[in-house]
Amino acid sequence: MFLKKKFQIILVSLTLVVASCKAQTKSISNAKKSNKQEHPSLILTKTGVEKIKSQLGTVPLFDETLAKVKAEVDAEILNGIEVPIPKDFSGGYTHERHKKNFIILQKAGVLYQILDDETYAKYVKDMLLEYAKVYPTLPVHPQTRSYARGKLFWQCLNDSNWLVYTSQAYDCVYNYLSENERKHLEKDLFRPFAKFISVENPKFFNRVHNHSTWGNVAVGMIALVMDDDKLLETALHGLKKDNIDPNEKDNDGGYIKKKGQKVGFLANLEEPFSPDGYYTEGPYYQRYAMYPFLVFAEALENVKPELKIFEYKDGVLLKSISTLLNLTDADGNFFPLNDGQKGMSYYSRELVSAVNIGYFYGDNRTDLLSIAKDQGEVLLDDTGLSVAIGVRDGLATPFVKKSMNLSDGKNGDEGGVAILRAKGSKEELTLVMKYSAQGLSHGHYDKLSFSLYEGGNEVIQDYGMSRYVNIQQKGGGNYLKENTTWAKQTIAHNTVNQDEISHFSGDFETGSMHHSEKYLFDVSNSNLQVVSAKEINAYPGTNLHRTMAFVNDETFENPYLLDIIKINAENEHQYDLPYYYLGQIMSANFEYTKSENLKPLGTKNGYQHLWKEAEGKSGTGNAKLSWFNKERFYTLTSVVSNDDDLLFTRIGANDPNFNLRNDPGFIIRKNNSKDVYFVSIIESHGHYAPVSEIATNAFSNIKNLSIVYSDDAYLAVNIENENGDKKMFMFSFKDNSKTSTHQIKIENKTYEWIGTYKLTEINK
Amino acid sequence: MFLKKKFQIILVSLTLVVASCKAQTKSISNAKKSNKQEHPSLILTKTGVEKIKSQLGTVPLFDETLAKVKAEVDAEILNGIEVPIPKDFSGGYTHERHKKNFIILQKAGVLYQILDDETYAKYVKDMLLEYAKVYPTLPVHPQTRSYARGKLFWQCLNDSNWLVYTSQAYDCVYNYLSENERKHLEKDLFRPFAKFISVENPKFFNRVHNHSTWGNVAVGMIALVMDDDKLLETALHGLKKDNIDPNEKDNDGGYIKKKGQKVGFLANLEEPFSPDGYYTEGPYYQRYAMYPFLVFAEALENVKPELKIFEYKDGVLLKSISTLLNLTDADGNFFPLNDGQKGMSYYSRELVSAVNIGYFYGDNRTDLLSIAKDQGEVLLDDTGLSVAIGVRDGLATPFVKKSMNLSDGKNGDEGGVAILRAKGSKEELTLVMKYSAQGLSHGHYDKLSFSLYEGGNEVIQDYGMSRYVNIQQKGGGNYLKENTTWAKQTIAHNTVNQDEISHFSGDFETGSMHHSEKYLFDVSNSNLQVVSAKEINAYPGTNLHRTMAFVNDETFENPYLLDIIKINAENEHQYDLPYYYLGQIMSANFEYTKSENLKPLGTKNGYQHLWKEAEGKSGTGNAKLSWFNKERFYTLTSVVSNDDDLLFTRIGANDPNFNLRNDPGFIIRKNNSKDVYFVSIIESHGHYAPVSEIATNAFSNIKNLSIVYSDDAYLAVNIENENGDKKMFMFSFKDNSKTSTHQIKIENKTYEWIGTYKLTEINK
């Protein structure tokens, strides 16, 4: 009851005050100064703690999380305090120990508040004192790989993680400590720590980048605990002076800071997020950044409510939570756009925070409760309690993922990512098409690329990054050389390569200046969902235009994916279009020759990593390849000429340390082409289970796929199924208006349609 | 109540009549002739049906199965009857249609009995009449690949499947049909059908082989329905005359029939089953054969109880059910020994029958009920009802798989298969070591090979067969050429190859004359389980002796697998020992060079299918390779000399149709060796989840592995962990007595032990 009322009040205030967003950004010193600060006040509040205590034992999800956290912290307390001298990369002992310390510190602080048990406060105190003992004399970390080395960790990024969590612990035990203890900790640990990751590392701190977000938030969180508005100002708006060379780049090849660039937390919120809540680095890093963004927003909302942080940029923080949840497959795994480690999902602790905070400070969206239920844990704070109560009270509704277009860029005008979702006979088919901006230093050179899922299974995969995060054996858990030489390259993606050169020649500066352009996104008809985008800068003098559609045709078991790429170039080039299917080849409708010895397909730009397993040509106008994966059959049918090369590849050449996954690929190569089309269809069909040994619908239903009309402005494609039923897909490349009328003539018959595209049945 | 009593009576009779097994085999015409037969009487009985009817609606598992079967059959009745002219291989339309027909026929018959609804009887009648219409003029099947072509299907085997199921349908509608209809069906369909698969195909029928079992049972089942004792005699003891050339072989390279070989159902029960219930072809085919064995046994028990078929050969049929359930990994998948398709499991319909029949006619073993629960369905007969009642009444107890040794061979003296199971920190580790006989025509040349599992995950895999059963695109779903050139070859397995030649030179005749010999199987100490076996015929003049042990050492996270192979040869040879690990290589402790171009490792005996990816040598005495799979780390540590070659391979060379899986392997090669040891340890350690990105225990705990003593009779191996703790494993190769005392002297210190082996801590 109480909560419900509170939410209504928030709701009202939200609808009233959509004003003065810009005013907020100016300076917080003008804002109404808060009274002498209470503790805790960051993620826990005095009233919140009272409420939690009163509900203990009645809210299963909260109680279970509490029991789990208590068991974990109790075990660590038994183990004793370890604050080793920093030495290792991620994955190594000292790294993992310090990481565990900050996680346990935060949890112990919370337990102290909720359980009123001084054991936990003492543990926090003792460990903080240990850190205060060693920190003043710590040199920078002995591992030298980072552009911004930390002290506890090999990079300032991880030091910032430490401070974000530890600030919360400090807040929780603030009143337990004596004033002298607090003075000591602030003087010898927290202030120098904050200074080190900001003033002493401006290249790390004064940037727009997920690293800096962590840095800004770390400083901001400790500023809030210490009630230091000046330090908070630095967190929100960055350092006034930094002397960063505008040409300087970081380890990943990203610019440190462009001239005139705004910095600090608010700039990091302003710039990388599009108005749709898409974070330009991609979902993997959005997930990583969500925690500092949201936990600091929560703290700001508690301590400096006058900042109205959740309304900033039209409520982008809350919007981004929903966006991120939509950037997942059926199992909750994030699409591995740009640098993304596969398997990262909304089960991560960052998303537990995001969902809890999103529920509490957002509209109490009951669909978030179903995600929280799946996650099976909540934050041990006001937000987690409200979620657990909602789940207990049966308020959860399904989280329904829809087809959506997510703009990229600060103003939403730098391309985007489109997600098409189509109901299949067994599971949903999902297309992810990327026509975004570069994505900062974690971006890949893959304009107009795509990946395809069926439920939680990858059908056509995006490789993701080449890195084994935190696995020490693999380069200390850091980015591997192959991330640059393979994973970022264009050939590693399901998109067009010209002359075996990556988009923008793989040049980060050039890539960062451009983005693709949306041409069409139309999901108004669930049986024919279309996305279309253009890229004119990846290869100067060459225009690429890709159109992808889910077609739900009742004569097919599942919706199929139609894929049309139009290329217009000033000169002749070689064009390669790879499809990184997963599974075992079942059959091909063309002759091919397996290589007796395997050689790399090329020498650079990622081609050096592909073994050429086989090569073929088709004389029938269609190349058809079927494969089998996870009990299902798939077929790619592509319009090809007699001259096109059909290449079977496998990743893994020039990989001296077995860093790459040895996955297969199929490349359609068009030689000496100027103006040319790639037209393909991908079907999911049938089923085979080794237990029943029954194969159903094991063959493609496409008898023929052909281009029946093309000129500069229009294309018509005929799709004939095995029964001989024909459909024609017509498309206008020059006019994307919904209302224009178009006309083409094929064999003396005139076809007319309104809008950019049309799918029509045609007589046999 | 009633059932319980009935079981007690059976139980009593079982314990009383363990006599006269041999007498039974003579001739059934001497047996007391049954009275005029009732119908149904094969898998359903009149009293059984009454009992089922009285329980309908009160036994969930039975009711659910009934509803599912009814829905399936109703849909087929709506679809109408299709009896196409036979044309296709398995996977093709006519094959799959006829297969579906016999399955639906059987179910429709049962539904008629249980539901008293003539719709089902009429459907069975109409379809049988359709078959009776076409059968008399059907030629043999147009596909010519089989040594024994069927009429409805490409091989008699599938025709026999048809008759086994259809006999049951006929039995169920027997009394529904008029006498004239029965006469017509028997004259035009069943008798010529039975004659065709027996008299007209003696090479198929008069054999010891799973094919013949189906043939025998098909004839036997229809004989029982028709109450034809002469025909039943043929089923039980085979054709009196067959004129089979004793040198003739089938498509798979197996002998049709050796001179003097007993044939018929009883011979097929007698010979391929060992006294432990192990079926010499391996679990995949045992599963396949279980259905005809058990369904015919059930029918015989009902119609000819005087045969006491379940007591035959000391109750081997019931024993074999338990054996087969033990030949599975944690997910219920059968170990793919010999020709086995991976993924086949105890969820198959054959195992539903086996578990139901095993429960009913066996001891009402309540652990079978837990398997039935997992299977989620039961047979719609007396046995299924009793299982469903047991499950309903909460009688199920866990089915606990134990370490066990399964002898091979009719008399249990032709080697065997050992299964060691050791509790791990996360899941059970399972070793499957094969030292069996050849396994008839489905046998592989892999003496002393092994596979290793952790829960349901393969750690070191057995390749299984090269075949995509019933998937038409892949050679009509039949065995692929690569089954012979790769899957059966020794190099495809985790065992020793001499001079790149398979065991017995890959010659089936030679292989069939021999088997390995058990040396030791001792699982009395769960912390040190040992199996050891010898092979002296695979390579004339060379003795192989492999010993494998699970060692549960508390300083390790999981029990590790110790693997010792002793080789003694008359001349110098090259020895290759492959380990087909699955996953991504993490690290190696030795230098290796990746190949710039991939070439096949060899030219024949399977070597032509391996790409050589890299080659290295170790100068430290140990080669250590770590990999990562399904969130876990694994490490192989092997004692090597400076001269040993360390080869990284990948399957897939000389595979023109992409039939093979491109899995990795690691081969230790010892050159120019006469008397030599392979000594290795495989550890499972640690964990990594992409959601938490935390790697724990990612490194091997073996600091050093070394041979500290060896002579012709003894070996001592030192195992040193990362803390420097040393243990020594001592083994006697010449004396496997449990009571003998052994003594060796190492560096002036004498070690003495009793029994074949000893693991002892030694001072640092």
Q: Which of A494-511 are b and which e, b meaning 16 or more Cβ less than 10 Å from the residue's Cβ?
A: bbbbbebbbbbebebebb
What is the predicted pLDDT for the residue at B253? Answer: 67
The mean pLDDT value of chain B amounts to: 93
Q: Where does the pLDDT of residue A252 fall: very low under 50, low under 70, confident under 90, or very high at 90 and above?
A: low
Question: CB–CB of B690 and A470 under 8 A?
Answer: no
B692 touches chain A (CB under 8 A): yes
A 93-132 residues inside an 8 A Cβ radius of B: 96
| Residues of chain A with C-beta less than 8 angstroms from the C-beta of B662 | 650, 662, 664
Q: Where does the pLDDT of residue A92 fall: very low under 50, low under 70, confident under 90, or very high at 90 and above?
A: confident
pLDDT digits 0-9 by tens, B564-583: 999 999 999 999 999 999 99
Amino acid identity, residue A490? T
Q: Where does the pLDDT of residue B258 fall: very low under 50, low under 70, confident under 90, or very high at 90 and above?
A: confident
The fold of the A404-691 domain, in CATH, is: Beta-galactosidase; Chain A, domain 5 (2.70.98)
Q: Is the pLDDT of residue B270 over 90?
A: yes
What is the predicted pLDDT for the residue at B147? Answer: 87
What is the predicted pLDDT for the residue at B254? Answer: 67
pLDDT digits 0-9 by tens, B204-246: 999 988 899 999 999 999 999 999 999 999 999 999 988 888 8
A 46-85 residues inside an 8 A Cβ radius of B: none
Q: Is the pLDDT of residue B442 over 70?
A: yes
Question: CB–CB of B597 and A594 under 8 A?
Answer: no
What is the predicted pLDDT for the residue at B256? Answer: 76
Give the separation between CA B457 and CA A594, rounded to whole angstroms.
31
SS3 A666: strand
Burial zone of A660 (CB within 10 Å; 0-12 exposed, 13-18 middle, 19+ buried): buried
A 460-519 residues inside an 8 A Cβ radius of B: 468-474, 477
H or E stretch covering A391: helix A382-392
A376 touches chain B (CB under 8 A): no
Shortest Cα–Cα distance, A148 to chain B (Å): 22
- Contact by Cβ (8 Å): B438, B511: yes
Question: CB–CB of B664 and A662 under 8 A?
Answer: yes
Task: Specify the residue for token string 């370490």.
Answer: B403
What is the predicted pLDDT for the residue at A2? Answer: 43
Task: Specify the residue for token string 């070659």.
Answer: B645
Q: Is the pLDDT of residue B20 over 80?
A: no
| Residues of chain A with C-beta less than 8 angstroms from the C-beta of B699 | 473
Amino acid identity, residue A627? W
| Residues of chain B with C-beta less than 8 angstroms from the C-beta of A691 | 343-345, 347-348
pLDDT digits 0-9 by tens, A550-590: 999 999 999 999 999 999 999 999 999 999 999 999 999 99
Question: CB–CB of A693 and B597 under 8 A?
Answer: no
| Residues of chain B with C-beta less than 8 angstroms from the C-beta of A594 | 654-656, 658
Which of A265, A107, A237 lies closest to A172 in space, CA to CA? Answer: A107
Per domain, the residue ranges of chain A are 81-271, 404-691, 701-764
The strand pairing partners of A479, in sequence order, are A467
- Residues of B assigned a catalytic role: 285, 442
Q: Is the pLDDT of residue B15 over 80?
A: no
- Contact by Cβ (8 Å): A467, A339: yes
**How far from each other are the two terminal CA atoms of chain B, in whole angstroms?**
67
Shortest Cα–Cα distance, A589 to chain B (Å): 11
HSE-CB at A51 with a 13 A cutoff on CA atoms is: 18
Shortest Cα–Cα distance, A348 to chain B (Å): 5
Question: CB–CB of B594 and A656 under 8 A?
Answer: yes
- Find, in chain B, the residue whose alpha carbon is nearest to that of A692: B348
Shortest Cα–Cα distance, B342 to chain A (Å): 7
The strand pairing partners of B546, in sequence order, are B533, B565
B 593-632 residues inside an 8 A Cβ radius of A: 594, 596-600, 611, 613-614, 626, 628
What is the predicted pLDDT for the residue at B5? Answer: 46
> Quick one: average pLDDT of A439-468?
97
- SS3 sequence of A5-47: HHHHHHHHHHHHCCCCHHHHHHCHHHCCCCCCCCCCCCCCCHH
Pick the CATH number of B70-271 from 2.30.110.10, 3.40.50.300, 3.40.50.11540, 1.50.10.100: 1.50.10.100
pLDDT digits 0-9 by tens, A111-131: 999 999 999 999 999 999 999
Q: Is the pLDDT of residue A355 over 80?
A: yes
Shortest Cα–Cα distance, A660 to chain B (Å): 8
Q: Is the pLDDT of residue B436 over 50?
A: yes
Q: Is the pLDDT of residue A683 over 60?
A: yes
Q: Is the pLDDT of residue B4 over 80?
A: no
Residue A78 CB partners (closer than 8 Å, separation 6+): none
Work out whether strand B714-721 and strand B726-732 pair parallel, antiparallel, or are unpaired. antiparallel
What is the predicted pLDDT for the residue at A5? Answer: 46
Neighbouring C-beta atoms of residue A130, cutoff 10 Å: 15
- Find, in chain A, the residue whose alpha carbon is nearest to that of B631: A343
Which of B615, B645, B651, B625 lies closest to B493 in space, CA to CA? Answer: B651
A344 touches chain B (CB under 8 A): yes
Q: Where does the pLDDT of residue A138 fall: very low under 50, low under 70, confident under 90, or very high at 90 and above?
A: very high
**Architecture field, domain A81-271:** Alpha/alpha barrel (1.50)
The strand pairing partners of B423, in sequence order, are none
Amino acid identity, residue B533? A
Residue B158 CB partners (closer than 8 Å, separation 6+): B90, B95, B98, B99, B150, B152
What is the predicted pLDDT for the residue at A253? Answer: 67
Give the separation between CA A464 and CA A335, rounded to whole angstroms.
9
> Quick one: average pLDDT of B16-35?
39
Q: Where does the pLDDT of residue A245 fall: very low under 50, low under 70, confident under 90, or very high at 90 and above?
A: confident
What is the predicted pLDDT for the residue at A261? Answer: 86
A662 touches chain B (CB under 8 A): yes
Question: CB–CB of A341 and B626 under 8 A?
Answer: no
Work out whether strand A622-629 and strand A584-588 pair parallel, antiparallel, or are unpaired. antiparallel
Question: CB–CB of B584 and A658 under 8 A?
Answer: yes
Q: Which tokens hold the place of A197?
A: 């990751």
Residue B356 CB partners (closer than 8 Å, separation 6+): B372, B378, B379, B381, B383, B384, B386, B387
Q: Where does the pLDDT of residue B90 fall: very low under 50, low under 70, confident under 90, or very high at 90 and above?
A: confident
What is the predicted pLDDT for the residue at B31? Answer: 39
Q: Which tokens hold the place of B530?
A: 């040992």
> Quick one: average pLDDT of B159-187?
98
Q: Where does the pLDDT of residue A243 fall: very low under 50, low under 70, confident under 90, or very high at 90 and above?
A: confident
Q: Is the pLDDT of residue B459 over 50?
A: yes
CB pairs under 8 A, 24+ apart, for B113-119?
B113/B40, B113/B44, B113/B49, B113/B172, B114/B49, B114/B52, B114/B53, B114/B56, B114/B66, B114/B380, B115/B70, B116/B53, B118/B176, B119/B77
Q: Where does the pLDDT of residue B36 fall: very low under 50, low under 70, confident under 90, or very high at 90 and above?
A: low
What is the predicted pLDDT for the residue at A43? Answer: 94
- Contact by Cβ (8 Å): B310, B297: yes
For the residues of A183-232, what is the DSSP string, one character each?
HHHIIIIIHHHHHHHTTT-HHHHSSSSHHHHHHHHHHHHHHHHHT-HHHH
Least confident of A182-196, A255-269, B634-648: A255-269
Residue B650 CB partners (closer than 8 Å, separation 6+): A662, B598, B610, B611, B613, B662, B663, B664, B665
- Find, in chain A, the residue whose alpha carbon is nearest to that of B287: A691
Handedness of CA A321, A324, A326, A330 (dihedral sign): negative
Alpha helices in B116-187 (DSSP H): 118-134, 156-173, 179-185
pLDDT digits 0-9 by tens, A471-490: 999 998 889 999 999 999 99
- Find, in chain B, the residue whose alpha carbon is nearest to that of A631: B343
Q: Which tokens hold the place of B641?
A: 């000399």
B693 touches chain A (CB under 8 A): yes
Which of A444, A430, A492 lies closest to A339 in space, CA to CA? Answer: A444
Question: CB–CB of B662 and A662 under 8 A?
Answer: yes
Q: Which tokens hold the place of B210?
A: 């799973």
Crossing angle of the two packed helices A312-326 and A283-303, in degrees rounded to 10: 140
As assigned by CATH, the class of the B404-700 domain is mainly beta
pLDDT digits 0-9 by tens, A188-222: 999 999 999 999 999 999 998 889 999 999 999 99
**Which of B344, B472, B585 lies closest to A691 in CB terms?**
B344
Neighbouring C-beta atoms of residue B183, cutoff 10 Å: 11
B590 touches chain A (CB under 8 A): no
pLDDT digits 0-9 by tens, A314-354: 999 999 999 999 999 999 999 999 999 999 999 999 999 99
Work out whether strand A610-617 and strand A591-600 pair parallel, antiparallel, or are unpaired. antiparallel
B582 touches chain A (CB under 8 A): no
Pick the residue of A333, A473, A625 with the most B CBs within 10 A to test the interface with B by mutation. Answer: A473
Question: CB–CB of A473 and B611 under 8 A?
Answer: no
What is the predicted pLDDT for the residue at A693? Answer: 93
Q: Where does the pLDDT of residue B594 fall: very low under 50, low under 70, confident under 90, or very high at 90 and above?
A: very high
Which of B189, B227, B178 lies closest to B101 in space, CA to CA? Answer: B189
